[in-house]
Amino acid sequence: MNKLAGILFLVLVTLGCQNRKPAIRIPVAEVGRKILYYDQIPQMITSDLSGPDSAAMVQNYINRWAKHELLLMRAEANLSQNARDEIAEQIEETRANLLIYQYQRQLMQERMDTIISEADLEKYYANNENRFSLMSNIAKALLIKIPSSTPNISRIRYLARSNDQKDMQELERLLYNVAERFDDFNENWISVDRLLVELPYENIGNEENFLRRNFYETTDSSSVYMIAIKDYRLRSSLAPYEYVKEDIRRAIMNLRRFEFIQSLENGIYNNALKEKYFKVY
C-alpha cells in the first residue's frame, strides 16, 4: 500500500503540472508485457484521490485487473488449437455482423423514410384487423378514491356516472381538495386488470358483468372507491384503433426496415453480378 500511496502522490503532482507540461502516462501495474496505466482506471474511482478510501479503491481495481490478465494469460497458454480456431471464427463472425449492422443502420438513418402519417396508420389498421384481436378486456374509466367522511358523496356518485362536460367540471371542483385519487387515465383505453389493482382486495366476480354495470362502488376501513365505466371492449373483439396505434407505428417501422435491408442486399448482390465482381462456379 505504501507503493500505491507513492503512485497516487505522483499522480497528484502530475495532474497539478498538466497545464505546464504535456500529460505523461503513469504506469500503476504490470502483468507480463501488459501495463495498466493510471488513465485507464475508471474516473469514478479516481475522481477524488485525496479521499480516505481512494487508495483502497484503486488497489481493488488493480487487483481485479491483475486477476483478469493473469487468467487470460493462462487461458492463452493452455487452450487447444481447436478451441483457439473456434474463438477466432466467432470473433470474425461477430466483427462482420457488427460492421454490417452499423452500415445498415447508417444507411437507414440517411435514406429510409421514417415519417409515418396518420393515413399510413389508419390504412394499416384497416388492412390488418385480424391482427388486432384483444387479449384482455379493456375500458375507458373514471377512478375516484375519497375519504369515507367526504360530504356530498351522493352528489359525487351522480356526477361520476354522468358524461356531461358541465357535470365533470363540477365533479372536479368537489374533489379538488378532498380526493385521494381522481384519475381518468388521460381518457385512454386501459386493461381491466390495470384498473382493478386500484381497488382494495375484493373479488368483483365476472369481468364482463363488472363492465356492463357501468358503475362500481366499494369501501374499505377509511375510503370510498368509485369506478365509472365510460366505454369498454371485451376480450377477443377488435381492439380500438387508439389502443393499438403505437403498436401499428412500430409494425410499420419494422416493415420498412425489413424492406429497406432486403432492397439494400438485393441491390448490392445484383450490382456485383453486373460488374462481374461475384461469380457462381
Report d(CA 193, CA 208) in Å as an integer: 12
pLDDT at 4 over 70: no
Same structural domain for residues 266 and 186? no
Q: What CA–CA distances, in Å, run from 183 to 13, 91, 198, 239? A: 60, 53, 11, 22
User: Does any domain span residue 113?
Assistant: no
Q: Which residues of 223-251 are buried (b: 16+ CB within 10 A; e: fewer)?
A: bbbbbbbeebbeeeeebbeebbeeebeeb
Residues 17 and 138 in one domain: no
- Which amino acid is located at 102 in the chain? Q
Per-residue pLDDT at 229 exceeds 70: yes
pLDDT over 90 at 48, yes or no = no
Residue pair 156/171 in contact by the 8 Å Cβ criterion: yes
- Cell numbers for 13, please give them: 503532482
Would the CA dihedral through 37, 40, 42, 48 be positive or negative? positive
In a domain, 41, yes or no: yes
Residues 139 and 50 both lie in one domain: no
Domain that holds residue 266: 118-129+239-274
Q: Which amino acid is it at 90?
A: Q
Q: Whose grid coordinates read 370510498?
A: 224
Cell of 257: 426496415
- pLDDT band at 69; cut points 50, 70, 90: very high
Q: Are the beta carbons of 215 and 175 closer than 8 angstroms?
A: no
When pLDDT is cut at 50, 70 and 90, the band that residue 12 belongs to is: low
Q: Looking at the structure, do residues 263 and 197 belong to the same domain, yes or no?
A: no
Query: How far is the C-alpha of 100 from the C-alpha of 110, rounded, in Å?
Result: 15
> Number of structural domains, the chain?
3
- CA dist., res. 228 & res. 184, Å (int): 9
What mean pLDDT is predicted for residues 64-72?
94
* Statement to judge: residues 138 and 214 lie in one domain: yes
The model carries a pTM of 0.72
